[in-house]
Amino acid sequence: MNSEPKIKYGCASKFGRTRHGEAFTLLSPGAAIEPNADGEILWHILNYTPDTDASKTLNAFRRAMEIWQPAFPSTIRLESTSDVGDAHIKLFFVGENHPEYADVFDGEDGVLAYGFAPVDDEPLRGFILMDDGEQWADMHSSTTKDLLTVFLHELGHVFNLGHEPRVREAVMYPSYSGIRHELHQDDIEGIRSIYGGNTTAPNSGNNGCLSVLLPFLVLFGSMG
């Protein structure tokens, strides 16, 4: 069996809720990104990792949005913007010398990234912070982490989805062991419960984030 370094992802909410008959969790019931007047949820990349070509990071993030898009109603579109001030979602790679956020990361095989839920009292709502101490690539290997897999998971947090340990195939499953480039129906149902779709009202519970930054544990070798 491979070694199992713990790699943490984060979300920003203290509340969780599950839907009867489904396993998805919501970080903060009732919270959602509010699209602009054109029905767009806009994203912007603030900087790029030096580990790979900027085009590969851009393509991976754009592809992550394309994979999530069908889960949303047709009235909402996930689009890029060159104006950071208009962006609902912001991707930022944090280096070890960053004056504000460097202390939340710990280099390779520690904390991978944090995604922040769309709650009004969260100053980093909509942000995805990536640890630039990791080796990022457009593939998974023994030394690199797959950008698209991580983007998909962290976008789920930004959209207001929590970790879901009960559905092993879900993007929001709290363990990373390699590539995952498709949404599970549970991920889709979670998005529909937030942004619209054919869903059943969730029952109250407390299965989401239990602290402001709940880790998403990534255990290599734990998944097939």
- Give tens-digit pLDDT for 10-53: 554 434 444 434 678 899 889 999 999 999 999 999 999 999 99
Q: What is the pLDDT of residue 168?
A: 87
Q: What is the pLDDT of residue 219?
A: 42
Q: What is the pLDDT of residues 120-148, one digit of tens each?
A: 988 899 999 998 888 999 998 888 889 99
The stretch 216-223 carries a mean pLDDT of 35
Q: What is the pLDDT of residue 20?
A: 36
pLDDT-based confidence at residue 208 (cuts at 50, 70, 90): very low
Q: What is the pLDDT of residues 165-200, one digit of tens each?
A: 888 899 998 877 778 999 999 999 999 999 997 654
Q: 73-77, 106-110, 139-143: which has the highest mean pLDDT?
A: 73-77
CATH architecture observed for domain 8-16+39-204: 3-Layer(aba) Sandwich (3.40)
Kindly tell me if the per-residue pLDDT of 6 is higher than 50: no
Q: Which segments within 62-221 are labelled E, that is strand?
A: 77-80, 89-94, 111-115, 127-131, 136-137, 145-146, 203-204
Residue from 199, 203, 200 nearest 73 by CA: 199
Residue from 144, 147, 119, 109 nearest 30 by CA: 119
Domain segments of the chain as ranges: 8-16+39-204
Which residues are part of the catalytic machinery? 154
Kindly tell me if the per-residue pLDDT of 66 is higher than 90: yes
Residue from 184, 219, 212 nearest 28 by CA: 212
Q: How far apart are CA 216 and CA 115, in angstroms?
A: 10
Q: What is the pLDDT of residue 97?
A: 66
Percent of the chain, pLDDT > 70?
Answer: 73
Q: What is the pLDDT of residue 106?
A: 66
